[in-house]
Chains A and B, each alone.
Chain A
């Protein structure tokens, strides 16, 4: 196993281990690390939605961004860029979040749920693979959101400064910030443990390029399993951890923060996977790229936050009782919207950027 492979396995394994630890220390079951759930909680904490059970400023996200930012500074990989179909990326982030909140989790949580014995997550993962496979066909036919170009250096720092602001709000707990008193938002590991876990995951994710959607995409496109090793490492370590601490419970019914509606688990994650492939990576990867100075990825995260706000303010998100009709309609409309975005961004010039017979 080469060094890069070891790194991606270590990143996945560490994420899986810390996820089990975070649950043991207070996070909701099977929610040791979930980018979608945590951004939804942050959205609620800021009062952008008013679903009382899911409001908390999650330090895991803050830590992830700070860790990835520090790693990119040390390795000199921090580079402010942007301008690659920014608003389209915002919309794709928004649509991906609609799908993830119908399923109740991001691709990372899908693996963690499966490692906890939640078979509904298996259905969701099948949907994720289907969505990625469809997105791959668009990539093969020339889909592109265009080139990002270098930005003024200050632009690259704004997203990380936003995370610092969130950390201050979390610690200061001013009255205008919302903290759930019951439900998933009220369940959390101690702040400094969660922040530290996020930092470690952020550093490892930046160094390893860990990406759940990228792993599936690369395997379908190039038969390259490199990133999939990280995916498998999360599952194996979390599974062993859950078995060790007695939190493994196999089945469909009665799983924590989940529902049994297979069709919408499948379609919700298909929407998320399709949108994420067109974006170039899963929500975890978008957070890391934003920390590295990519302002398009930062705007994608804002789209995800907007998606969380709309999902909960308009009653679209799934819950343990199932998926509301509004959420089902939103997923269908989302799939149509992603198709249109994919279709109209397929330039005729598939060989863009390639010139033949030039050079020395």
Chain B
């Protein structure tokens, strides 16, 4: 069964939007943003570059260099908008698709590939950029984020945590528990749900009967739905929510209303469950095109700028490819490392046995 093409593509009235799909600036009574021309250009650059990182990774997977990849295509604005709202002291807890947020946190893009290439389960030090490891088990990280936020509270620090998750994740017990915890402890956290309309093949209707942002009211904190393809609105709304959190006003649930343009992962076949017209409708809301229109309409950038960003993207893509191929395979005995922080005789015993076994194959 496929779903009506208009489903989910309508902009619901409660949607916070500051930039229309046609690239027009619009006002919103509760949210505004004042961006300097170079800030808009910088956002545009982010959007283009993360899209290129993503496309390059998809290509690498197709060529057998990655086992799998979860594409962010279509979700760039939600990720760059929210990611650019974070300060250095804030801590982000991603799922497995937050390549744009990772970009905003200055995580080297090649490090994102480790998990997908199968050379490690993480790849970066989460403390280095306050960007936690990708979490595969749906919803788990939302609790870690709340616990971390409770730590911020205890440290009396001026910071917040942000937890990323999808529309499917909102059905998980952990996400609901994290809402309860955040609410009763008034934790400095922002829940950032990227509602991309699909959890693999399951449409939003399989997760909820009400708009997701309204869930928050049942837990006792505000929920807001933002146009997830509008980078200005995502930035403005997330910035405000983070500020509220840091100032002791507790959690906010942000539902970024967006769309997953690609497959769920490279192993998925979306033609089995969704119709092409749905995709076409969402193409008209492309997060990059609308910023480009805005830049042109307001004469904030010229063709030369667009081309320079393209050139930068080409270079970034080529560099990512080169460094992906150069990524060394781990050594067999590496799997015994870091299982425990303190010495563990069973691990030592098994490592020694396996090393002796491997040694037997050497001539």
Is B a genuine binding partner of A?
Answer: no
